[in-house]
Amino acid sequence: MRYLNSILFGAFLGFTATLLHNAWQPAGLIASLVVTYLGIKLLGIKYYYKRFKLLCAISWLAVVLRGSTVGLGDELLIYGNTYGNLFLLLGFITLVLAVLLPRVPKSNFARQDYL
């Protein structure tokens, strides 16, 4: 069930980011990247293992790549303009960072003996 939840949550994040990136043009792009990063990090906190974050990222990428290709009615959700290209590039970088960065920061405040 965790696998299915990760895939569906990644598809939801990808759909949300696809629709949000071109609205309110500088703020929508930033908001879509922040939502993507925080969504994958929250999934990592909920399910702990990186495999669930990776499944979420793969399904996000599948939805976004499908949105950037021409459909049957010649519709396109991610245009080849500046914001569309930045969304694809920065979105992929955001996915990689969200999956690979550790779950807990290594700081003195997070140590048990400090508290």
Which regions of the chain are under pLDDT 50? 110, 114-115
**Alpha-carbon gap, residue 30 to 73, rounded angstroms:** 29
Q: Is residue 115 one of the residues assigned to a domain?
A: no
Tell me, what's the pLDDT at 112? 53
Tell me, what's the pLDDT at 81? 87
Best CA proximity match to 100, nearest among 51, 67, 65, 61:
51
Tens digits of per-residue pLDDT, 10-20?
999 999 999 99
Tracing tokens 């990090």 back to the chain, one arrives at: 41
Tell me, what's the pLDDT at 45? 84
Domain count of the chain? 1
pTM, rounded to two decimals:
0.83
Domain that holds residue 91: 2-110
Counting every residue, how long is the chain?
115
Q: Is residue 61 one of the residues assigned to a domain?
A: yes
Q: Which residues contact 58 (CB under 8 A, 6 or more apart)?
A: 10
Cα 77 from chain centre: 17
Q: Are 64 and 16 in contact (CB under 8 A)?
A: no
Is the Cα torsion angle 62, 64, 70, 74 positive or negative in sign? positive
